[in-house]
Chain A
């Protein structure tokens, strides 16, 4: 730059500043347009997947989801590619943990990315994603496959009377018990009474302030006949059943049925505590079976489905993963073909045998080869069939927080049952009114 050039007139400086400001405003407008300007598009306007399209599919299918710890996603993609011949499937890991995967999926869906054709979604995400119009309506596909899918697992993909995914594999809580110390659990009341009898009989579960506590609480609430939302979506948690279950759980901590340490346990610490041999009962997921078998407890433990509430019936809460087709997929036919393959009774046997996951096909549970690898298949099937989805709502995360924070407050003794129930109902009502 020429040093001898006369100084720029003052207005020029001002003009520069104005230009800068204009650029900033333009940038802000551009950014806000991304956030708010797009035309609203909800579940009502979603396109539907055609069940017949899978037969003529070709090209590549990209399946995205959480880190493939058991190898099931990559394994299924490989087996599908081999069996199909025309479509090649690959699995892309987009998050190390469930929470991270959700964030990554939301980012892609919000940005209308075409990177992923299929998402492996946690059962509790379905209604949230569907309400945003991010998923393809799979109602026809699910109807076509209905006779090979366990009805309770299909219900996890339902939102506003349509199905937005196909169940891939499921999950349900089980009770592990030391058969030399305690009796097989028939009811929650009997389990708690038995657990309080001797110091080594105690019950461990997931009582930390997190999603797992919602699951543990709902398992009891459902078996006691309570509910969070009814079929019309009205808040029904302010009930006698909710109070009974909360009192029952908090009494259990006071009279020694459950150790106070459960207030810090999620799945893994609960398992580790149980492996010490100092407890009688443990509530956990099926994957614990294999791990317990590798400990000195291998010969003394047994598995039971979740018990019934006294005078009620056994129930539970479904976990597991669904396959949802992205509304922005460029190979919907290929995605349909992949779902067709993943839910076949034959592949569902492999789901159990090769990856120790709970199949969504009932026949798989009585298959001889499966029973050899998964001796507790009958108990697992009982748990799965009796289980129900968690509250179906696009604001599920807020509903779950309202549940686990208030249940935790009762268990840790900072709130009375009455206060907690009222607060829970209020918070769920507020969450449901979210804009």
Chain B
């Protein structure tokens, strides 16, 4: 083998190459098949379901309707309302999580006693099941009895006598807060990993040049942190666009909080409209896909640039 490589372009060599590629293909084939079974088949099946209508009146009756389910969904007010509400939620919660996450990461990156303990403690909200934390938030915003409403009215601040989960805008605010509280630590952790990669020498150089703390942060920390922040943003946005449990527990979709996933759930599970529900799931899936492609296109380029600069 080693001998043969001395003659690049030789006939045997290319044969070898092909043989090796063949072998590689055959060796990866089992995992490809498994991946196809696990990922492609259910997605393909869901697409197939979304092209049909299944009778809710007569068991076993179905008809092929082509794109009708999609056309109906895209023509419905509910879909576009859910679409807008989901993006509003994702936009608000992800921006807050990134800002707070960066601040939290900067704090955790300082050298101080008990840092290891604090890093663990900070992760606790992330470890709590979303439904449980949703119920906690519901209790805190309960009118008259809730912690938040009580504190607000005792201090004479606005919002104390508001029925938060029963009012447009306020309900969305509670859902965003619940999400920010829970997932900021996750964003912080990713950003912290990014912080730790930045070498101390860069900072020393900046200090020697007489840069202020703020200048250092804006001109060194943030640009070098960008890949980590983008990564956190991608993860969080994809999650946020599929939000289900928070609005399901807190409002059941009332007061402008119904998300795309909730809509699909209602059609699929409650109404057993399998075709219509699958079309909604596929639309949600496509929305998330498009958003992540946009991210990778625009922000992904940044990742590569930064990597090049670092080299």
| A-B contacts besides A3-B23, A28-B48, 12 pairs, CB < 8 Å | A3-B19, A20-B36, A24-B44, A28-B44, A41-B58, A41-B59, A264-B142, A264-B143, A394-B56, A401-B270, A434-B56, A435-B53
Quick one: closest A residue to B268, CB to CB?
Answer: A103
* Nearest neighbor of A266 in chain B, beta-carbon distance: B252
A117 to chain B, nearest CB (A): 19
Cβ of A208 and Cβ of B22 under 8 Å apart? no
Select the stretch in B91-99, B160-168, B197-205, B210-218 that faces chain A: B160-168
Q: Which of B250-281 contact A (CB under 8 A)?
A: 251-255, 266, 269-274
Q: Are A395 and B56 in contact (CB under 8 A)?
A: yes
| Stretch in B60-68, B100-108, B187-195, B285-293 touching the partner | B60-68
**B49 contacts A by Cβ under 8 Å:** yes
Residues of B within 8 A of A36 (CB): 52, 54, 60-63
Q: Does B57 lie within 8 Å of A42, measured CB to CB?
A: yes
Chain A nearest Cβ from B101, distance in angstroms: 30
How many A-B pairs have beta carbons closer than 8 Å: the answer is: 133
Minimum Cβ distance to chain B for residue A129 (Å): 10
A367 part of interface (Cβ distance < 8 Å): no
Tell me whether A40 and B48 are in contact (CB under 8 A): no
A133 at interface (Cβ–Cβ under 8 A)?
yes
Contact check, B254 vs A42: say whether CB atoms are below 8 A apart.
no
- Contact of A14 with B by CB under 8 A: no
Interface assignment of A354: CB less than 8 Å from any CB of chain B: no
Residue B45 lies at the interface, judged by CB distance under 8 Å to chain A? yes
Judged by a CB distance under 8 angstroms, whether A15 is at the interface is no
A35 touching B49 by the CB < 8 A rule?
Answer: yes
Residue among A132, A210, A269 with the most chain B CB within 10 A? A132
From 380 to 435 in chain A, residues with beta carbon under 8 angstroms from any chain B beta carbon are 394-395, 397-398, 401, 408, 412, 414, 434-435
Are the C-beta atoms of B143 and A259 separated by less than 8 Å?
A: yes
Q: Are B144 and A261 in contact (CB under 8 A)?
A: yes
A401 to B41, CA, bound (A): 33
Tell me whether B57 and A434 are in contact (CB under 8 A): yes
Instruction: Give me the interface of A with B, judged by CB distance under 8 Å.
Output: 1, 3, 5-8, 20, 24, 27-28, 31-32, 35-42, 99, 103, 106, 110, 128, 131-134, 208-210, 259-261, 263-264, 269, 272-273, 276, 278, 394-395, 397-398, 401, 408, 412, 414, 434-435
Q: How many residues of B contact A (CB 8 A)?
A: 50
Closest to A109 in B: B59
Enumerate 21 A-B pairs (CB-CB under 8 Å) in ascending A order: A6-B15, A7-B22, A24-B36, A24-B41, A32-B52, A35-B52, A35-B62, A36-B54, A40-B58, A41-B58, A41-B59, A134-B59, A209-B254, A261-B144, A264-B164, A273-B142, A276-B145, A398-B271, A434-B56, A434-B57, A435-B61
Residue on B with the closest CB to A434?
B56
Interface contact B58-A131, CB-CB below 8 Å:
yes
The answer to whether B59 touches A132 (Cβ under 8 A) is: yes
Q: Does B115 contact A (CB under 8 A)?
A: no
B272 interface neighbour in A106, A208, A408, Cβ under 8 Å: A106
- Provide the residues of chain B in CB contact with A398, threshold 8 Å: 271
The 5 closest A-B pairs by CB, nearest first: A263-B166, A36-B62, A38-B60, A209-B254, A261-B143
Chain B residues with CB under 8 Å of A8's CB are: 22
Inter-chain contact A408/B254, CB cutoff 8 Å: yes
Least distance between A137 CB and chain B CB atoms (Å): 15
Given the interface pairs A1-B23, A397-B270, A408-B254, the reply to whether A435 lies near B166 with Cβ below 8 Å is no
For window 111-151 of chain B, which residues contact chain A by CB distance below 8 Å? 138, 142-145
Are B60 and A39 touching (Cβ within 8 A)?
yes
- Whether the Cβ atoms of B163 and A263 lie closer than 8 Å is yes
B60 and A261 form a contact (CB under 8 A):
no
Residue of A nearest to B171 (CB): A264
B26 within 8 A of A: yes
Roughly how many angstroms separate A132 CA and B119 CA in the complex, as a whole number?
55
Point out the residues of chain B lying under 8 angstroms from A259, CB to CB.
143-144
B4 within 8 A of A: no
State A36–B58 Cα separation when bound (angstroms).
Answer: 11
Which residue of A has the minimal Cβ distance to B56?
Answer: A434
